[in-house]
């Protein structure tokens, strides 16, 4: 007599790269040339950054929201030795989209290269290297109770939900951007298709003051959408009609992946940025009753996919 087939969903395994792969680029804020090497890592290693120009453990930084020390214009990690690595969010978002759990990221400078200002080049690197499953189950952080951060007219809430989904609203007085709202399921495939190519953006009139603060020194039309008055200065225009709000979701995905695992919950955000994303992770993970670890299965994102009402509105 044949036994009954198990109906328990298959647990998803952790993943890393098949082999190393490197790239060279420019730091968005430092303006310096950066060489980055992505290296496979063992199960349960997590994402770890290593500065090749700083010897020993002083050059090691775990990709952890608790190590975020600066959120002006990017998410910057730092350790107790004072070692810093800036602009990690676009790479972290790509690693979420590629479902990479374990990786060592080696850099010879203090910033991840900006590439074209999106996550797409990093996904291309991972795809070129290839990925492999590892002998350990993949885990996620499941949200059990709502957590909210409010700061003036900025507000972000993370509530229980099926899979991972987000609704984001931005509202700029600038006519080229205006008000944009988008809601979508954020399973890795949707992130790749709908979010990964959205580039960072800035305003031409702010460039001088940002550079005086040591920021945006590597910014250009090759790695950012630049707005001047009511015009987009980039010759090829926008990649999406609502590229600005899509990039804000990209930043959120990257910042959230600093939790050390995918987040399973429903995000509602209005006029928020890196500081609010980091504050929300602190608030959530400080409350043991508000979340739990759960093993990921092939059905983890099914609910979010069913509720993925992708859309946008620009006023």
The reported pTM is 0.93
| Spatial CB neighbours of 225, under 8 Å, sequence gap ≥ 6 | 117, 199, 200, 201, 202, 232, 234, 238, 243, 244, 247
| Spatial CB neighbours of 311, under 8 Å, sequence gap ≥ 6 | 182, 183, 184
- Asked if 256 and 149 count as a contact pair (C-beta separation under 8 A), the reply is no
- Asked if 267 and 165 count as a contact pair (C-beta separation under 8 A), the reply is yes
pLDDT value of position 306: 54
pLDDT value of position 52: 96
Q: Mark whether 29 is an active-site residue.
A: no
Measured torsion, CA atoms of residues 54, 58, 59, 63, in degrees rounded to the nearest 10: -160
Q: Band of the pLDDT at 94, cuts 50, 70, 90?
A: very high
Q: Among 156-160, 219-223, 237-241, whose mean pLDDT is lowest?
A: 219-223
DSSP conformation class of 217:
T
pLDDT (mean) for 9-33:
92
What percent of the chain clears pLDDT 70, i.e. is strictly above it?
Answer: 90
Mean pLDDT computed over every residue of the chain: 91
What percent of the chain clears pLDDT 90, i.e. is strictly above it?
Answer: 79
Domains of the chain, start order: 13-137 (3.30.230.20), 140-314 (3.30.1700.10)
Per the model's pLDDT, the better-predicted residue between 173 and 196 turns out to be 196
Q: Band of the pLDDT at 308, cuts 50, 70, 90?
A: low
Q: Band of the pLDDT at 30, cuts 50, 70, 90?
A: confident
221: its two tokens: 């039309």
Q: Among 55-69, 209-223, 239-253, whose mean pLDDT is lowest?
A: 209-223
Q: What is the tens place of the pLDDT at every residue in 125-170?
A: 999 999 999 999 999 999 999 999 999 999 999 999 989 999 999 9
On the question of pLDDT at 312 being above 70, the answer is: no
Q: Pick the catalytic residue: 29, 90, 247, 274?
A: 274
Spatial distance between the Cα atoms of 23 and 120, rounded to a whole number of angstroms = 13
């Amino acid at each position: 007599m044949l036994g009954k087939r198990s109906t328990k969903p298959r647990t998803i395994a952790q993943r890393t790269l098949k082999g190393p792969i490197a790239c060279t680029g420019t730091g968005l804020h430092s303006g310096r040339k950066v060489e980055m090497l992505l290296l496979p890592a063992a199960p349960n290693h997590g994402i770890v950054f290593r500065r090749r120009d700083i010897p020993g453990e002083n050059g090691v930084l775990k990709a952890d929201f608790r190590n975020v020390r600066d959120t002006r214009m990017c998410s910057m990690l730092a350790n107790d030795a004072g070692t810093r690595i800036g602009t990690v969010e676009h790479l972290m978002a790509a690693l979420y989209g590629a479902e990479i759990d374990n990786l060592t990221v080696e850099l010879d400078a203090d910033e991840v290269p900006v590439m074209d200002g999106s996550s797409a080049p990093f996904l291309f690197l991972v795809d070129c290297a290839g990925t492999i499953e590892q002998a350990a189950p993949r885990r996620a952080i499941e949200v059990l109770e709502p957590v909210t951060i409010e700061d003036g007219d900025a507000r972000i809430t993370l509530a229980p939900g099926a899979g991972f989904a987000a609704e984001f609203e931005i509202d700029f007085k600038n006519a080229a951007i205006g008000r944009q709202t988008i809601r979508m399921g954020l399973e890795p495939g949707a992130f790749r298709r709908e979010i990964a190519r959205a580039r960072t953006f800035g305003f031409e009139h702010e460039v001088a003051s940002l550079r005086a603060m040591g920021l945006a020194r590597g910014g250009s039309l090759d790695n950012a959408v630049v707005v001047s008055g009511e015009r987009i200065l980039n010759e090829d225009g926008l990649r999406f009609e609502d590229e600005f709000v899509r990039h804000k979701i990209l930043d959120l995905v990257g910042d959230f992946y600093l939790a050390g695992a995918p987040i399973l919950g429903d995000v509602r955000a209005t006029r928020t940025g890196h500081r609010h994303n980091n504050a929300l992770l602190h608030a959530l993970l400080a409350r043991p009753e508000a979340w739990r670890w759960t093993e990921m299965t092939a059905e983890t994102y099914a609910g979010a996919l069913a509720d993925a009402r992708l859309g946008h509105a620009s006023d």
